[in-house]
Structure formats: structure tokens, C-alpha cells
Chains A and B, each alone.
Chain A
Amino acid sequence: MSFVDKIRNSNRLKFSFGKSSDLIVIFNQRVDALSMYSTNFGLGIPSNLSMENQLRGVFKIVNEENGIFLFNISHVNLVRAKKGFVNFDEAAESNMITEWELSLILQNEDYLNKTIFHNGILELVLTQTGIKVKWN
């Protein structure tokens, strides 16, 4: 079973993160995952909240629903994400919101345990020294 099939067949709530690209939108559709492209993130999050609070709401709801965070790490600056940010604004000003999302996951064991890292085709594992493909 391919990685995409495995994710699609899961009945858990799925939320997809990653740098914006046409490919990630296709991936989201193939695995039936919610994302920033879904109206109100597909989770009924009020759009009058700040961007930071909307995103924190995504993490809170998906975590409480025992969902899965799908994280496409293509073109994501892993060094910057691991280092973290002083606050959300620092990340937003530098166009590093995806890195901020990853830093939030890396700082929270609950989120990390519910995250599947991938590149759109293969499941990946983040290690201390880098990234490797997760073979079955």
C-alpha cells in the first residue's frame, strides 16, 4: 500500500501543513485532508481571530479530536524551525509561518506524536542529524 493510500484510508481527522504549492493542494485532495485552503480551516475556526490564534486553534482542535498532522517538509527550513522563534510575528514577517508551525509541533510532544512527516510521496522521519525515509 502506498503512503498516499495509507493516509487516505485512515478514518482519523487529517490536517495538512506545508509550503504553498499546487502539488500540496493535489496531495490534500488525494488523502482527503483539511488545510489552510479549507474554509475556516474546515474546523469552523472564526476568521476574525488573529492568524496566530487561528493556527493555534487548528492545533488544539485536531489534537483534541485525536487527529493526524500531515507535514510536508519540502522547502521548509528545518534549522530555523528547530531553533524556534521569539514570537509568531517574527516568523510571519520573515515568511516563515510553516517553520513556526513546525517549531510548535517540535515543542509539543502530543502534537509530535500525532504528526506524520512526508514529502508528498514518501513518509519521512526527522532525526537529530537530518531526514530519512521511513521504510516499512
Chain B
Amino acid sequence: MELREKIRDIIGTRLVEIKKKDSAISLYFENGDHKDVFQFDGLIFETPLTSVNKKVKLAEINNNLGIKALSQLRYENKNPLEYKQLLIQMENQSDEWKTELICVFKKIKITKRALVHSR
């Protein structure tokens, strides 16, 4: 499956956790019977309203970064041309306040895990 398809697969799932240690970032999405885990080394920008426990409305990858990511990478003396940007928008955002994540990485590892439900 292509990367774009794997990323589109999280639309409709719920973001349940964001883990960040230095530049190592993991995002966990659930949709009832499975969990998608996105792991990458890079940057993450989150709007002030929390994205956790909200459903994903849109997820798209872009070879060209936004100005926030461009500025941060240039500040860190990194080459923005080597990075991709993933935009994740959550449901129920308003005109006033967006609820979204911008993720920036060179490579991303996506794994799908089945959820085991206890009886």
C-alpha cells in the first residue's frame, strides 16, 4: 500500500495518544478493532485545542512544507527539501479555532495493530 493510502486510512479513526521524546514522535489512532501507529523523527505543531480523543477528518501528505515548518527547519540548519509534511485535521473544528496537527519528517513508519478486547 502506498504511503498516501496508508495515511488516508486514519480518516475516521480517533487520535488516542501523542508521545514525544526529543524529536522522536509517535501518534496512535484507534477505530474499534485496530490501532494505527505513526512513528517518525521530526517536528510536530499542534493548535491550542487538544487533538487527542477527537476523530480525524482529513489527513494529507505534502512534499512542500508550510511556513512554520520551513522556518523551524531553517532555524535548525536543516534542509526543508528533505522533509515531507503531514496535515491532520480533526472533526468539529470551527472557523475561529482549528484543531489540527502538522507533522514534519523525512521518513515515517506506519504499523497497524489489532486491538485485543477483554471479555
The answer to whether A and B interact is yes
Q: What total of A-B pairs shows CB separation below 8 Å?
A: 48
Does A107 sit within 8 A of B, measured CB to CB?
no
Residue of B nearest to A54 (CB): B71
Q: Select which of B62, B70, B75, B98 is within 8 A of A94 by beta carbon.
A: B98
- Chain B interface size band reads 20 to 34
A130 → B minimal CB distance (Å) = 15
Contact in complex: B100, A95 (CB < 8 Å): yes
| Known contacts A47-B75, A94-B48; is-contact A20 B97 (Cβ 8 Å) | no
Starting from the known contacts A47-B75, A54-B71, A93-B47, 19 additional A-B residue pairs (CB-CB under 8 Å) come to: A19-B66, A20-B62, A20-B64, A20-B65, A20-B85, A21-B62, A21-B64, A22-B63, A24-B64, A51-B67, A51-B68, A79-B95, A80-B96, A92-B68, A94-B47, A94-B97, A95-B47, A95-B98, A97-B68
Q: Using a CB–CB distance below 8 Å, which chain B residues touch chain A?
A: 45, 47-48, 62-68, 70-71, 74-75, 85, 95-98, 100, 102
